[in-house]
Amino acid sequence: MNRVHIKTYGCQMNERDSEAVAAILRARGYRIVGREEECDILLLNTCSVRDAAEQKAIGKAGSVQKRQRKNPDFVLGILGCMAQNRGAALLDQLPDVDLIVGTQKFHQVPDYLDNLRAARDAGVPLGQTIVDIAEEAGSQNTIRDHELADRQVNAFVSIQQGCNMDCSFCIVPKTRGDERSRPMAEIVAECRALAARGVKEVTLLGQIVTSYGRRDYAHAGGVTPFVQLLEQVHAIEGLERIRFTSPHPRGFKDDLVEAYGRLPKLCGYVHLPMQSGSNRILRAMNRPYTRERYREIVDALRAVRADMYFSTDVIVGFPGETDEDFAQTLELFAACNYDMAYVFKYSIRTGTPAATMEGQVPEETKEARNQALLEVLRRNSERRNATLVGTVEEVLVEGPDQSGRRFTGRTRGNRVCVFEAEARLIGSLVPLAITRASVSTLYGELVLAGVGSEGNLSVSAQS
């Protein structure tokens, strides 16, 4: 009874948390299996950003309980944001769940599973579900272990947990707690160790990543702690690329904008959540910027790097959003020319200020506005990708694609590429001549003048 499968819902933070749980479980002697059918222990790492995400996880847990009734030794655990949000109340719907662990107690999962196994091995009924959603000082420092696949070339690094922004629509401050940053030296050491294991690209993660260290470190010569961290990670030998998510527009001061011009490892790709293009709605959302300031940030970043790629988050149908408010969002969305976007229909989250606001928007209106933005995005992405046909892009080779017949990688602008290559090139930065493009994927051919024993490449003059 030691085979564990972890199913993850939601964001990259959740993916990183699941990976850290897997690593500490493996160190404790558990086997991590890739197929749910093979496991004795199923852990669902859940999301609470939207009600639909919670309902999906609840539905999955409900179906798994049938397996529990057939096999009393089977263990079902619910981790993460939904566990933190609902706690023991989950047992009203899911009475057979064995373990409910919140976002600050991931590192306790091995101990709790050991207790469950010991009780069942001794034939002693546990009597009640283990529920732990308490806050824990220093819990942000426990997400540091990595479960790397063979020849994995990119990795997530958690640098900060929690959020103090109090956006009126968001449940994250409740599920993730107050803003807490990890020590800079520990983050840099983690990135250095990843580079030593062959990782070429790191993505720094936080709820509001640009707020990193603002209470723990002083500004140095006008440079914020987050940019100081970028500088130190940039200096690590062996790392080739740096990304980060998720930032807040408020964090894009001059020092961060300028960093894109002086730190070549910092990829020219920015995820910049807009949420709305209406100043009235932004105020209702408690978002401390205007549409004018948002556009200034986009223009400043493109002035530093003309080929900057952008993605964003937008909520349509926020309470009180009128046709005119949405028209302003649509106009700003089109003007920013995003390459990718996460467009969400507003979802009531009980316990947030927006949940009780007047002017809830009908579902059919939300859907129409959602589709309008997605159509603009489709055209933007298609147009941007078409301009890349005939160019040569630097691509980090990540591994085989889903078919197993070709290879895949990403450009510095975070565009997925598919191409023919050899396994020895995994982890190499290669020049790729783009031959065709779809809305979401680039296809190309390697342009190699020579490949050394370590996969070091030079670009042919002929492309």
Nearest alpha-carbon partner for 199 in 146, 238, 230: 238
Sign of the Cα pseudo-torsion (447, 194, 265, 273, in order): positive
Domains 3-132 and 389-458 share a fold: no
- Residue 135's pLDDT is what? 92
Q: What is the pLDDT of residues 157-184, one digit of tens each?
A: 999 999 999 999 999 999 999 999 999 9
Domains in the chain: boundaries: 3-132, 139-385, 389-458
426 burial (CB, 10 Å; 0-12 / 13-18 / 19+) is buried
- pLDDT-derived band of residue 281, with 50, 70 and 90 as boundaries? very high
- Which of 100-104, 114-118, 183-187, 436-440 is predicted least confidently? 114-118
- pLDDT-derived band of residue 449, with 50, 70 and 90 as boundaries? low
- pLDDT-derived band of residue 213, with 50, 70 and 90 as boundaries? very high
Q: Answer whether residue 114 shows pLDDT above 80.
A: yes
What one-letter code names the amino acid at 82? M
- pLDDT-derived band of residue 203, with 50, 70 and 90 as boundaries? very high
Collapsing DSSP to helix, strand or coil, 123 comes out as coil
Query: Mean of the pLDDT values across residues 448-457?
Result: 49
Q: Answer whether residue 82 shows pLDDT above 90.
A: yes
Residue 118 CA to residue 380 CA, distance in Å, equals: 56
Report yes or no: 3 and 39 within 8 Å, Cβ to Cβ: yes
The percentage of residues in the chain with a pLDDT greater than 90, rounded to a whole number, is 86
Query: Mean of the pLDDT values across residues 27-46?
Result: 95
Q: What is the CATH number of domain 139-385?
A: 3.80.30.20
Report yes or no: 20 and 146 within 8 Å, Cβ to Cβ: yes
> What are the start-end ranges of the H helices in 362-439?
363-388
- Which of 61-65, 103-107, 192-196, 235-239 is predicted least confidently? 61-65
Fold of 389-458: OB fold (Dihydrolipoamide Acetyltransferase, E2P) (2.40.50)
- Residue 451's pLDDT is what? 47
Q: Answer whether residue 246 shows pLDDT above 70.
A: yes
> How is residue 339 annotated by DSSP?
S
Q: Answer whether residue 216 shows pLDDT above 50.
A: yes
- pLDDT-derived band of residue 50, with 50, 70 and 90 as boundaries? confident
DSSP-assigned letters across all residues of 260-283: HHH-TTB-SEEE---B-S-HHHHH
Nearest alpha-carbon partner for 349 in 184, 173, 107, 144: 173
Output 448 or 151, whichever has higher pLDDT: 151
Fold of 3-132: Rossmann fold (3.40.50)
- Residue 456's pLDDT is what? 45
Q: Which residue has the tokens 């209470």?
A: 215
With b for 16 or more beta-carbon neighbours within 10 A and e for fewer, the 125-137 pattern comes to eeeebbbbbeeee
Q: Answer whether residue 388 shows pLDDT above 90.
A: yes
What one-letter code names the amino acid at 17? D
Q: State which H helix or E strand residue 417 sits in.
A: strand 416-419
- Residue 157's pLDDT is what? 98
